[in-house]
Structure 1
Amino acid sequence: MYAKCGELLDSRKVFDEMPERNIVSWNALFSSYVQNDCCAEAISLLQKMIFSGLLPNEFSLSSILNACTGSTNYGQGRKVHGYLIKLGHYSDSFSANALLDMYAKLGDLEAAKTVFDEIRQPDIVSWNAIISGCVLQEDHDWALRLFAEMKMLGTIPDMFTLSSILKSCAEMGMKELSMQIHSDLIKRDIGSDFFVGVSLVDVYSKCDLIEDARKVFDTLPKRDVIAWNAMISAYSQSGNDGEALSVFVAMQKEGLGFDQTTLSAVLKSTASLQTDIVTRQVHVLIVKSGFQSDDYIVNSLVDSYGKCKLLMEARRYFEEHPSRNVVPFTSMITTFTQHGEGEEALKLFLKMLDMRVTLDGFVYSSLLNTCTTLSAYEQGKQIHVHILKSGFISGFTGNALVNMYGKCGSIEDAHCAFSELPERGVVAWSAMIGGLAQHGCGKEALDMFNKMLNDGVSPNHITLLNVLCACNHAGLVTEAKRVFESMELLFGIKPLQEHYACMIDLLGRAGKLNEATELVRKMPFEADASVWGALLGASRIHGDLELGKYAADKLIVLEPEKSVTHTLLANIYAASGNWGGVLEVRRLMKDSKVKKEPAMSWIEVRDAVHTFMAGDRSHNRTEEIYAKLDELSDLLSKSGYVPRVDVDLHDVDRSMKEELLSHHSEKLAVAFGLIATAPGAPIRVKKNLRVCIDCHTAIKFISEIASREIIVRDIYRYHHFKNGSCSCGDYW
């Protein structure tokens, strides 16, 4: 009585005052400790009983097995298993079920299956124990097979069984079975059971049956925090973020509290919607409820602030709540990278190493994406070493490695990383094809695409976009047309805006302007900025002023703040000698307060990134850099290089144009690379805009003069300059 009323001390006092204690007394005491979650103490009492001269019976051992389960004491559970066999209680149904439950919940599924197989007539408790154990250990196939066997043998599943099976259905995406279970519940007039109802909400949401999930939710007899969380998560996971926030508001009106799960789901939706006001309001709730130091809340809030473009708030909150958990660090690194603060992300990685934070595949993947954004090849290699040491070279980390090497200028390393992947899914193949595309290896990319199809891997829209880009960079018009026209027929993928934009760019750059404009007309949707940008770029290459003006007018309406449109139009005017047109474009930019994005180039030397702008003299080795440029100028002239002054938009004389061209950012970066790296070492430069024609010509000559491979990544692709030629074949 005392035990069941929660008065454990009084229960023990009565036991201690008993003049004689038989097996019934001890069993009552065991039960009292287990019922009050004092499982470790219950286990120690078993030894005292045995020392007193009494041997446990089947009821004693069942209670102690429950205690072993509650205290996760697997070793003691194995000993009790031995007692059951030794004392002849192994065939007792209560003991067998307790043993089965212990093994299942403590992770030894094989032992649980063995115990279950030895039960002659398993009852509903036995079935529930083994099925819930399979679900707990994520062996959903086995759980579903057991469920089918259970029904075949005539055992009627109860609410616990169905709740467990619905969890497996949710993980396996088994829509039909879930709906069948729901229908059976309604027929049995027990469709409103709370736990089953919550499981149905979960499975329907994961099967994209959100309306069905909501119907079940609305019919629940009671709705606690778990039920509300299931509905909020259902909307959040399905992309119905507005509905997720509405349900959260309704939950608060009901006067219910919330927990970490609620807040994490809500913050996921605020991040997707990029609603900074709601994110701040949720932050206030977090502080009021005392969850601000929870690692997963820190992670969710940092992620939401980051996606709402509130970098300072994300950083401040992260720093105010230090943690040794890798999850918040991963979110902060991702946020830095998304906001162009890749160097800060890499500094945070070093801090993690100093703090001895246990790293995982997710943070390594984020760091590799950071290196990709920075084009930081050397740092990417170092992170690769850390990945190899920690054993995370698989799955998405391997995919990120392929992507990083491809986009950091080493297609050879990308290919090595790709070949070492134990399994290659569509992401890995797409990354490899994309890397080949950026390096201008069009035919190799097509070969890789064919190998992918031969391996039985179906492409997605990103794969096909990468294939089209590969054809674009290599001028493979016929091959691109074949892929584009067969997308829906062969792969069931309708071309999106980006696929059309790539084809229009390819046709335009190949001089097929009429075909390009005709494709714009045939598009099944309104052309976006990428399409008009492709036409404008083609107009600049082929000097079509009329088409260029038309495309520029469309772009200025869609993206009035973008300076690149005005710059390309000014280039078209300048190429035709129409300086009045150039002045008019500049006047329009001034009136519209559009600022031209400055050309910038980066080069990584000894783990440091050096940035240059045109005419830059801020570097601490400026004198050496300009001296190297002067030296190169003489050698270039002797080699036959003639400056392309037609690409300069300044209305000044030729000598001034030549001087301005000689101090472009990519030339400064290359000159620094020549003086700061070992002789013969490759020079890797990144530029934020398209490499200019004059710099492209000059760097070809420099690669031969200096006997260096110079790798330049611009906004569109990689250029590998070697022995006086470029991998693009002057087609970019």
Structure 2
Amino acid sequence: MFFWKIKKNPFDYLQKSFFFSCKPDVPSVNPFKTSKLISSYFKLGKIREAQKLFDEMTDKNVVSWSVVIHGYAINGFHSKSVELFSQMRILGFAPNSYTVVGVLVCARGLPDLVLGKSVHGVTVKSGFESNSVVGTALLGMYAECGNIFDSCKLFEGMKNPSIVSCNAMLAGYIDNELFEEGVLLFNRLRMSGFIPGESTMLTVVQGSVALESRIVAQSIHGLVVKLGLDSDMSVNNSILDLYSCCKDLDAAKKVFDMMECKDVISWTTMMGLLVNLEYAVDALNLFLKMKASKVNHDAVVIMNLVLACTVLGDLRRGRQVHSQAVICGIEYDLPLANSLITMYAKRGELQSSKTIFNQMTQKSLVSWTAIISGCLQNGHPREAMKLFMEVWVSENYSLDSALIVSALTASGVVAAFELCQQLHCYSLKAGFSHYRSVQNSVISAYANSGCMDFAQSVFEEMGCLQDLVSWNAIINGYGMNSQGEAALALYHKMRKSRGDIDRFTYSCILGACSHSGLITDGLMIFNEMVEENEVMPCQEHYGCIVDLLARAGCLSEASGFVDDCFEVMGPNALRALLSGCVLHGNVELAEVVAKKLFEQDPEESGHVVLLSNVYASVGRFQNAETLRTRMDKQRLMKNPGISSLGESSYDFG
């Protein structure tokens, strides 16, 4: 009978007699082991696996809930963590200290001060306020939410703050830009016997960087050595960065040379300091040493190389660095791409700058500022204005002072008075009225637009913000608008109220005298400049004197001055003399001067046009036409001028 049943339906029999009768016992799930596994998943960043395991738990307790809440928090899913905390509370679970810390991490990360205060209330109610870990999380949360007062209150209430609590309080001061308070707290802790570790010193160094004090830097460096922390690479890198921010090259070199182990951050920091101090050749040589040390370079290293090439004006080497960035696949790293835009623009390769800018998938405000400044540097103010309007109407950016300065410069160049007013109003609304660079640019923009009343008003409103650049801008403004007497009055007032003066001041006032025909005053100021010997006369100053004499019709005196000082003069002085010849129709002298200019710069079309204008002014149209024809054959292009009529700008070739 038995075999007949098997033969009739073997599978059915086996199912009933074996699979169903021999069920294995299901082991009970240990919630603590499961919670530990969930925690491991979160630490590895395996969020889905952790959530799945949590969902499969039939017996969830406060430990498992706390692990999940804390896990989501440390992985940046703050909203999800808060949501789970709410569910846990609805289900009637009372939070433990681990739960509270997890939610405080969320309040800190969001940041949400209201949530943080609510959790603080739960903490007090649950009796966790005296818990050191919870207290540290609370003061860190308040600091991150900008409520440094409550952080201090909590810290002062701690009987025996741990090193973690001290570090959190120090970091709170630094993060809220209370750098001096942070350093003072550190000194107070040291006096009470506190022994800082690596993380503490990294925080203190970070705060000291903003102070830019060599004395503080040296004191902290001494303490690092005394505590025996100078063998830690991170601490050494932070000290190196501290000296770099203080621009103390000698101290930075000593730290760098004494480091037994150097990583890419060490090399990058040292290269950055050399570039900032314009020791570009040394920065390039340091890169070669870095390669010899077999340290892999990153985008920051390449960016420093680009900046070094920019300082040197070495476009050939800059292109090589760019090629290396392309090979490494980092050419569109945002800071690097911005540096490349600047490098090409400064070397007159605006098209290359545009190509990089247009191909960037991600642009920052620095990117827009770089390309707009590049257009200005290469004589394309209207294109700069167009780009500025594009970024202005965009809602993706909040304009900063650097971009406003560039826009004001462009509006001044094209004499766009209404736009100057709009930018001025925007700068006031955005809180840039206390930025010297912005106010100085407003003065220059109004002056270039011929609105000296507005420029003078802004200058007076600056008050104690006035610096040398402000005085130069207003003096230059009066000069270019042929108000030489006003420029002279300001110049003398400046000499009485301020002791300092630079070559730009002399250029501005000499230019003002030239435009207003104040020969005696101009020559007197130039003689003072030579006699005082504070500022050495340069080509620009000599050019101003030649222009002063030539405009006034003193061509023989101007020519004699050129002959006496020809070796120290540049082509601008000769162009000024040639312009005087055009103004007064002196063909004979014009031909002599033009010949000298041809010898100095045969590719320049400006002096050809000026000589042609001299011929035309005395009726020698055949000679003028011959010069123009020769210019066309040599493919010399006359730079177009820009004229602003009403609200529109037009090109006149």
Give the TM-score normalised by structure 2: 0.75
Report the number of matched residues: 608
Cα separation, 2, equivalents of 1:165 and 1:513: 68
Q: Which residue of 1 aligns with 2:475?
A: 433
Q: Secondary structure at the match of 1:358?
A: coil
- SS of equivalent residue, structure 1 residue 78: helix
CA distance in 2, matches of 1:204, 1:180: 12
Matches within 5 A, 1:376-455: 376-377=416-417, 379-381=419-421, 383-384=423-424, 395=435, 396-419=437-460, 421=462, 423-449=465-491
The match for 1:317 is 356
Identify, as 1 or 2, the structure richer in helix: 2
Picking from 116, 121, 124, the partner of 1:85 is 124
Q: Aligned residue for 1:180?
A: 219
Counterpart CA distance in 2 for 1:28 and 1:226 is 36
The 1-side partners of 2:71 and 2:389 are apart by 52
Q: Which has the higher contact order (CA 8 A, sep 6+)?
A: 1
Contact 1:402/1:414, CA 8 A, preserved across alignment: yes
Q: How far did residue 441 of structure 1 move?
A: 1.9
SS in 2 for 1:107: coil
Partner amino acid, structure 2, of 1:83: V
Q: Secondary structure at the match of 1:611?
A: strand
Question: Does the 8 A contact of 1:170 with 1:206 survive in 2?
Answer: yes
Distance of aligned partners of 1:200 and 1:378 in 2 relative to their CA distance in 1, 3 Å threshold: same
Partner of 2:199: 160
* Residue ranges of structure 1 left out of the alignment (5+ in a row): 614-732
CA separation in 2, counterparts of 1:122 and 1:492?
59
| Structure 1 Cα separation of the partners of residues 151 and 247 of structure 2 | 34
Q: Partner residue of 2:649?
A: 609
TM-aligned CA deviation for residue 360 of structure 1: 0.9
For the residues of structure 1 that align with 2:204 and 2:640, how far apart are their CA atoms? 58
Q: Does 321-330 or 402-411 show the bigger shift? A: 321-330
Q: Which runs of 5+ in 2 are unaligned?
A: 1-35
Relative to structure 2, which stretch is displaced further, 513-522 or 413-422?
A: 513-522
Residues 1:526 and 1:489: Cα distance change in structure 2 (over 3 Å): closer
Match of 2:233 in 1: 194
- Secondary structure (helix, strand or coil) at the match of 2:247 reads coil
Matches within 5 A, 1:69-468: 69-70=108-109, 72-248=111-287, 250-251=289-290, 259-291=298-330, 294-321=333-360, 325-352=364-391, 355-361=394-400, 362-377=402-417, 379-381=419-421, 383-384=423-424, 395=435, 396-419=437-460, 421=462, 423-449=465-491, 459-468=501-510
- The alignment partner of 2:487 has SS state of helix
Describe the SS at the equivalent of 2:366.
Answer: helix
- Do 1:434 and 1:470's aligned partners in 2 also have CA atoms closer than 8 Å? yes
Aligned position for 1:626: none
Offset of residue 51 of structure 1: 4.2
Contact 1:244/1:269 (<8 A) preserved: yes
Structure 1 residues 603, 42: closer, same or farther in 2, change over 3 A? closer
Cα drift, residue 86 of structure 1: 3.3
Q: Is the 8 A contact 1:205 1:234 kept in 2?
A: yes
Report the secondary structure of 2:177's partner residue. Answer: coil
Larger radius of gyration: 2
Deviation at 1:39, TM superposition (A): 5.2
Could you tell me which amino acid in structure 1 is paired with residue 511 of structure 2? C
| 2:372/2:387 contact within 8 Å kept | yes
- 1:699 corresponds in structure 2 to none
Q: Closer, same or farther in 2 for the Cα pair 1:449/1:536, shift >3 Å?
A: same
Q: Give the drift of 1:197.
A: 1.8
* Cα gap change, 1:375 to 1:520, in 2 (>3 Å): farther
Q: Deviations over 1:367-392 (max 9, x none)?
A: 22223333444554555566567665
Deviation at 1:548, TM superposition (A): 8.8
Deviation, 1:112, is 2.8
Alpha-carbon shift at residue 358 of structure 1 (Å): 3.0
Q: Give 1:436 shift.
A: 0.9
| Secondary structure, aligned partner of 1:328 | helix
Shift of 1:507: 6.7
Change beyond 3 A, Cα 1:188–1:490: farther
Distance 1:74 1:253 in 2: 51
Question: Residues 542, 229 of structure 1: CA spacing in aligned structure 2 closer, same or farther, 3 A cutoff?
Answer: same
**Residues of 1 paired with 2:157 and 2:528: CA distance?**
58
Residue pairs, 1:505-654, within 5 angstroms: 506=548, 526-530=568-572, 559-562=601-604, 598=638, 602-612=642-652
- Shift in alpha-carbon separation, 1:560–1:93, aligned structure 2, 3 A: same
- CA distance in 2 between counterparts of 1:115 and 1:489 reads 66
- One-letter amino acid matched to 2:645: V
- Residues 1:537 and 1:452: Cα distance change in structure 2 (over 3 Å): same
Match of 1:649 in 2: none
Deviations 1:650-703 (A, max 9, x none): xxxxxxxxxxxxxxxxxxxxxxxxxxxxxxxxxxxxxxxxxxxxxxxxxxxxxx
Greater shift in the superposed pair: 287-296 or 546-555: 546-555
Q: Deviations over 1:436-489 (max 9, x none)?
A: 121222231233345556776955543343234334434556655675677799
Q: Contact 1:555–1:565 at 8 Å: present in 2 too?
A: yes
Query: Does the 8 Å CA contact 1:430/1:466 hold for their aligned counterparts?
Result: yes
When the two structures are superposed, what TM-score results if normalisation uses the length of structure 1? 0.68
